[in-house]
Structure formats: C-alpha cells, structure tokens
Homo-oligomer: A and B are copies of this chain.
Amino acid sequence: MNRIQNNIGSPDKETARIEAFSDGIFCVAITLLAIEIGVDAKHVSSNQDLARALGQLWPKYLAYFVSFINVLLAWVGHHSLFRRIRTADNFIMIANGLLLMVLALVPFPTKTLGLAMGTPAFRTAVLLYTGYFVAVSCCYRLLWFAAARHRRQLVEGITETQVRATTRAENIGLISNSTILLVALLNPWLALALSFAMWIYWIALG
C-alpha cells in the first residue's frame, strides 16, 4: 500500500485538500481586491495633479481596507470551523462550495463601494456591501449546521462546550451582520462603523 492508495478511505486527507483549495481561493480573492486601485493615465501633468488624483482615491483605499479585514477574519473563521471537522460528507462539501462561491465574489461589492462612496448612490452600495456579508454569514452558519448535525463528522475529542461555543459564534456573526444591514438602511456610515466595532469583537475573541 502506498501513500496515494491510503487516500482511499482516508477522509482526513480529503479535508486537508478542501482546506488547501479554500485557502487558495481566499488568497487570490483577497489579493485581487488591490487591482482596482489606480489613477488614470491622464493625471500626470504635474506633481500636484497626481497628488490630488491619489488623494481622491480615498474611497477605494477605505473599501480595500474594510474588505481586506473582512476577508482575513473570514479566513480565520474558516480555519476555526475546519479545525473542528474530522470528515467531509456531501452536505459539508456543498455548503463549503457555496461559501467559496460567495466569498470569491468579494471584489464585486468592494469595488462598488469604492465607486459609490461620496456619491448620491452611497446608500445602495452600502446595502449591497452589508447584504453581501449577510450572505457570507449565512454560508458559514450553513457550513457549521452541516458539520455539527452528526457528531461523527467532528473531531473525536471535541466537547459539547466547544460545539456550543462555535454555534454561538456563528449565530452572533449572522445576527450582527444582519443588524449592520438594517442599520445601513438608516445610516450607511454608522453601518460601516459597526463593522469596525465587530472586528474588535472577533479579534478579541481570537
């Protein structure tokens, strides 16, 4: 029996591949966020002209900053979930595929936000952006539902307390992102500020 043959019937190996593939998508998606940022070729008539053009890109810098942090935290959350999963069945595969499909789209709401910030279309862009992260949270919640529905798919030594803590964390993510979406209806800037507050929470949570 060689190394490759061992894969047949070894679900752990398959989980490692799903994680590596997911990591790759996180990686490419997060790096593609940056390619939207740039000045037009016409803004090189003088140093002042270029400096002004660079300054006017602030909505794109801000959108990049917000999305990079969000995707980075999503990546940390993804590992957090998969560290608790021992083997992936069809349902988990589909839920993870759905999550990756939504996540790879992140350059779209990000560039829309960078485009509309400071324009009359700001509220719509923030609704798209915050709604997008509600969809991301739903995918995480679904993935954890798929994983936790049978205890045999979780790692062996996991305690009931650890399972409940993860469930609570996913619920908090979904509820807080939904709240931020509702706040965006009232005040787009307040919604972005609330996102920032949630980062502190997730980072403190570790």
- Which A residues form the contact surface with B (CB < 8 A)? 1-5, 7-8, 12, 14-17, 20-21, 23-35, 37-39, 41, 43-51, 54, 64-65, 68-69, 72, 75-76, 79, 82-83, 85-86, 90, 93-94, 97, 100-101, 104-108, 111-112, 115-116, 119-125, 128, 155-158, 203-204, 206
Contacts and interface: CB of A to CB of B under 8 A. Distances in A.
Nearest to A83: B7
Number of copies: 4
Contact of A111 (B2, B38, B94, B106): B38
A169 to B, nearest CB: 15
A120 to B, nearest CB: 5
Q: Is the interface of A mostly helix, strand, loop or mixed?
A: helix
Given A21-B75, A31-B32, A50-B121, 14 more contacts: A1-B156, A2-B12, A3-B16, A5-B158, A8-B155, A17-B79, A24-B28, A34-B104, A37-B105, A43-B121, A44-B116, A48-B124, A50-B125, A72-B101
9 contacts: A2-B86, A8-B157, A20-B23, A24-B27, A30-B100, A41-B115, A44-B116, A68-B100, A90-B206
